[in-house]
A and B are shown apart, each in its own frame.
Chain A
Amino acid sequence: MLAADRIIALALMGLSIYFMWHATVLPIGWEEGAGPGGGAFPFWLSAAMLAASAIILIRSFISHPHEGERFFPDADAIPQVAGVAGLLIATIAAIPFVGAYVALMAFMAIYLRVFGRHGWTLIAILTLATPVFLFFFFEVTLKILLPKGLTEPLFIPLYAAFF
């Protein structure tokens, strides 16, 4: 926990510096008669964030907070959390190519099978019902088109029927 606390504080310091660097594109100083420039707000707030996270880091060397605590009290949870996060990222990455429907169906099937260990009947019901709901809710009712990627041609007859 102590190591994690330090790494997070360091990462936040890095992020603050990165923000400060980008904020300097616009004036960060005081403009006479008009108050702060366009970059001042993000710049000085990032500076405050840098200072606060630096204090967190320094403090960790003085008082050793959370010593003895573990960042992951249950180590078995790590593969599961990392697996779900990885699966989520893979799904989003797949959306532009295979479309939202295929990507989300694959996501649900893999998740329910690998992490939930459910039977194929339940998986089939959920992975088939969800895209149907999404199609009618978003595309037909709200007229919000979800990305289709390669699967676009398959939807042309559906468009013809519902629009």
Chain B
Amino acid sequence: MEILSLLADGFATSLTPINIMVVVIGVTAGLFIGAMPGLGSVNGVAIVLPLTFIVPPSSAIILLAAIYYGAMYGGAISSILLGIPGASTAVATTFDGRPMAQQGKAGLALIAAAVASFVGGTISVILFTLFAVPLADLALAFGPAEEFALVLMAFTTFVGLGGDDVMKTIVMICLGLVLSTVGLDLISGQPRLIFGDLPGFYSGISFLVLAIGVYGVGEVLYTIETSRTAPSVTAAKLTMRALGEGIREMNKLWKTMSFGSFLGFFVGMLPAAGATPAALMSYGLAKTFSKKPETFGRGNIEGVAAPETANNAASTGSLLPMLTLGIPGSPTTALLLGGMVMWGLVPGPMLFIEEPDFVWGLISSLYTANVAAVVINIALIPLFVWALRMPFSVLCTVVLVLCIVGGYAPSQKLHDVWLIAGFGIAGYVLRKADYPLAPLVLAIVLGPLMEKSFRQALISSQGDMMTFVERPLSATFVGLSVLFFVLPVIKLVRQRKSKSPAPAE
């Protein structure tokens, strides 16, 4: 088995002392970030990214991936102890996790969430390992036309499957793409959209500035508004007996957990879907197929296991297209992609050929991150209970200070800090008006690739647009994009038809 030897080489990288340390630090930080209400993996990665300059690039990516993982585990903690999802991905965990805590079974619920996350994470990392090489091989055949068509498809999934307001989604995609064009034109090298010759815009708008703005400052403003009363923390006692009971209980749930893992992994791969819908779907299906559906929502341990396996599996799933195709499956992986590009590690099939040590080091680190996360999660439960009592204003100041300094550090321009404040306030207002932020962040990360591949394809075809539909792979992606794009229209027509006898509103 070639994969096994590659993976073994990867472990040689990920099991070096520095990388083990990085994984442990990343997972612990991620657990705390995930556990804090309001902060999720995407906020954590955005805020911590500038701090990762402290380790070498390959370790920095491992650190960010570990934070991503830890935050996925951590989200369940506040869902159970506070009844407030620690991150949107853990919404479904509140349904049964909170009732369990109120019945005095908080410890059991936390163990169930950690074990389920571990199962989901592990199954999906195995799937990831199996799919990575074939997908990267397929992507090797991609030219600029296929790259463009694939990016186009990624955006149209938001329109067709995103579930947000279609027009608002389109606005956000376009806004992100336009912001990505600020700076120097890729082909002619001339400045464009520099807004009255402001020198700060010549180097473009970094994805990081936008991400820190909307996910750092914007998120803090949003949380200040929505959670001003201190929630009550449920005490969780953790005994070895509860641990044993938890593992015995979880042993009965293999069917739910393996189903949740597969579902999460494949849903996670889609840019528009991801961990939140995957967790909700998994919860819904577990309830549907349960022999006792009426116990769901009243503290059924299966209702904790199902969403927690799926959201962890989805986070791994979203890493797969990011690493193999260079198309992120979620906003968090979009930030990872941006970070990798910043460090000169361009994701995509060539990475598997040029930097196998890095790729397999990262993949194997996902295995170690899972083990580290489940151990640290269960071991530190008393600490999380304590940390959740931390006043929110303390967390806010620390996050805002990190946003300002972290925004300044990469390019050392105060211009970027101003942009962060602007994006933060604008992002907060847009979010309140139901404009989705994920497509915006994905668009600014993918914008340069989209424009470059579009124009390169046209230059090599001498301006012939047919190049996008004459190549079979590209034609498939374009076809799917069209399908996703008209999906909302079809839905609308169907709704109209079923409603047509009713009087107009």
Q: Are B430 and A8 in contact (CB under 8 A)?
A: yes
Among A88, A108, A144, the residue within 8 A (CB) of B421 is A88
Nearest Cβ in chain A — how far from B486, in angstroms? 16
Q: A residues within 8 A CB of B430?
A: 8
* Chain A neighbourhood of B181, CB < 8 A: 23, 41-42, 45
Chain A 57-79 interface 0/1 with B at a Cβ cutoff of 8 Å (1 = within): 00100010000000110101100
Which B residues from 49 to 92 make CB contacts under 8 A with A?
51, 53-54
- Nearest-neighbor residue (CB-CB) of B221 within chain A: A81
* Residues of A close to B182: CB separation below 8 A: 42
Whether B458 lies near A34 (C-beta < 8 A) is yes
In the complex, A31 Cα to B167 Cα: how many Å?
30
In the bound complex, how far is the Cα of B401 from the Cα of A139, in angstroms? 16
Quick check: B405 and A53 within 8 Å, CB to CB?
A: no
Q: Give Cα A58–Cα B451 distance, bound, in whole angstroms.
A: 30
Bound CA–CA A1/B434 (angstroms)? 11
Q: Does any Cβ of B come within 8 Å of A25's Cβ?
A: yes
Residues of B within 8 A of A100 (CB): 404-405, 408
* Shortest distance between the CB of A110 and any CB in chain B (Å): 10
Q: How far is the CB of B247 from chain A (nearest CB, A)?
A: 39
Main secondary structure of the interface of A (DSSP, over half): helix
Complex-state Cα separation, A102 to B41, whole angstroms: 31
Contact of B400 with A88 in the complex, beta carbons under 8 Å: yes
Q: Contacts A46-B174, A88-B421, A142-B53 known; A52 to B405 CB distance under 8 Å?
A: no
A158 on the B face (CB < 8 A): no
For B455, what are the chain A residues with a Cβ–Cβ distance below 8 Å? 35-36, 41
B312-320, B370-378, B388-396 - the one binding chain A: B388-396
Nearest residue (CB) in B for A83 is B224
Give A18-61 interface residues, CB cut-off 8 Å to B. Answer: 19, 22-23, 25-26, 30-36, 38-39, 41-42, 45-46, 48-49, 52-53, 55-56, 59
- Tell me whether B152 is interfacial, beta carbon within 8 Å: no
Instruction: Give the total of A residues in contact with B, Cβ under 8 Å.
Output: 69
CB of A147 closer than 8 Å to a CB of B: yes
Determine whether the beta carbon of B409 is less than 8 Å from that of A130. Answer: no
Q: Which residue of B lies closest to A49 (CB)?
A: B174
Chain A, residue nearest B171 (CB): A52
Q: Scoring A residues 71 to 105 as 1 if CB is less than 8 Å from chain B, else 0, what string do you get?
A: 11010110011001100110110011000100010
A127-151 interface mask toward B, CB cutoff 8 Å, 1 = contact, 0 = none? 0001000100110011011110000
Which residues of A sit under 8 angstroms from B405, Cβ to Cβ?
Answer: 100, 104, 134, 138, 146
B174-A108 in contact (CB<8A) = no
Question: Which of the residues B174, B195, B414, B459 comes within 8 Å of A48, measured between beta carbons?
Answer: B174
* In the bound complex, CA of A141 to CA of B430 (Å): 38
Contact A84 B451, beta carbon cutoff 8 Å:
no
Q: Measured between alpha carbons, how far is A141 from B50 in the docked complex, in Å? A: 13
Q: Which residues of chain B are within 8 angstroms of A39 by Cβ–Cβ distance?
A: 185, 192
What distance in Å separates the Cβ of A53 from its nearest Cβ neighbour in chain B?
A: 5
Residues B454 and A35 in contact, CB atoms below 8 Å apart: yes
| Chain A residue at minimal CB-CB distance from B166 | A52
Answer whether residue B354 sits at the interface, using C-beta atoms and an 8 A cutoff.
Answer: no
CA gap between A88 and B218 in the complex, in Å: 12
Q: Does B178 contact A (CB under 8 A)?
A: yes
Given known A-B contacts A12-B171, A38-B192, A56-B167, A80 and B404 have beta carbons under 8 A apart: no
Q: How many angstroms between the C-alpha atoms of A74 and B391 in the bound complex? A: 21
Measured between C-beta atoms, what is the minimum distance from B225 to chain A in Å? 4
Task: Please tell me if the beta carbons of B54 and A53 are within 8 angstroms of each other in the complex.
Answer: no
Instruction: List the B side residues contacting A46 at CB < 8 Å.
Output: 174, 178
B29 vs chain A, min Cβ distance (A): 14
Known pairs A89-B421, A100-B405; A116 contacts B393 (CB<8 A): yes
Q: Is the CB of A19 within 8 A of B404?
A: no
* Given A5-B433, A88-B400, residue A30 in contact with residue B54 (CB < 8 A): no
* B239, CB-defined interface residue at 8 Å: no
Are A77's CB and B174's CB within 8 A? no
Using CB atoms, name the residue of chain B closest to A54.
Answer: B167
Residues A144 and B414 in contact, CB atoms below 8 Å apart: no
Contact mask B222-241 → A, CB, 8 Å, 1/0? 00111010000000000000
Cβ B391 vs Cβ A116 within 8 A: yes
B173-211 contact mask (Cβ, 8 Å, vs A): 1 or 0: 011011001100101101011110000000000000000
B225 adjacent to A81 (CB under 8 Å):
yes
Partner of B393 from the list A52, A72, A81, A111 (CB cut-off 8 Å) is A111
When distances are taken between beta carbons in the complex, the residues of chain B under 8 Å from A45 are 174, 177-178, 181
Closest to A32 in B: B463
The answer to whether B51 and A137 touch across the interface, beta carbons within 8 angstroms, is: yes
Contact of A118 among B195, B391, B458, B463 (CB under 8 A): B391
Closest CB in chain A relative to B177 CB, distance in Å: 5
Given A42-B193, A77-B225, A145-B412: A107 and B451 interface contact (C-beta under 8 Å): no
Interface status of B127 (Cβ within 8 A of chain A)? no
Is A17 part of the binding interface, using a Cβ–Cβ cutoff of 8 Å?
Answer: no
**Residues of A with C-beta under 8 A to B404:** 88, 91-92, 95, 100, 104
Contacts of A71 in B (CB 8 A): 432-433
Question: Is B192 a contact of A26 with CB atoms below 8 Å?
Answer: yes
> Could you say which of B171, B228, B459, B505 contacts A63, with CB atoms under 8 Å apart?
B505
Contacts A31-B463, A39-B185, A112-B394 aside, 9 further interface pairs with beta carbons under 8 A come to A4-B432, A16-B174, A36-B455, A55-B167, A63-B505, A71-B433, A108-B401, A126-B394, A144-B409
Q: 17 A-B residue contacts at CB 8 Å?
A: A12-B175, A15-B175, A22-B192, A36-B454, A38-B192, A48-B170, A48-B174, A52-B170, A56-B165, A56-B168, A56-B171, A76-B228, A80-B225, A95-B404, A115-B224, A126-B394, A137-B51
Measuring CB to CB, which residues of chain A are less than 8 angstroms from any residue of chain B? 1, 4-5, 8, 12, 15-16, 19, 22-23, 25-26, 30-36, 38-39, 41-42, 45-46, 48-49, 52-53, 55-56, 59, 63, 71-72, 74, 76-77, 80-81, 84-85, 88-89, 91-92, 95-96, 100, 104, 107-108, 111-112, 115-116, 118, 122, 126, 130, 134, 137-138, 141-142, 144-147
> Considering the complex of A and B, which 4 residue pairs feature the smallest CB-CB distances, nearest first?
A35-B458, A116-B393, A38-B185, A49-B174
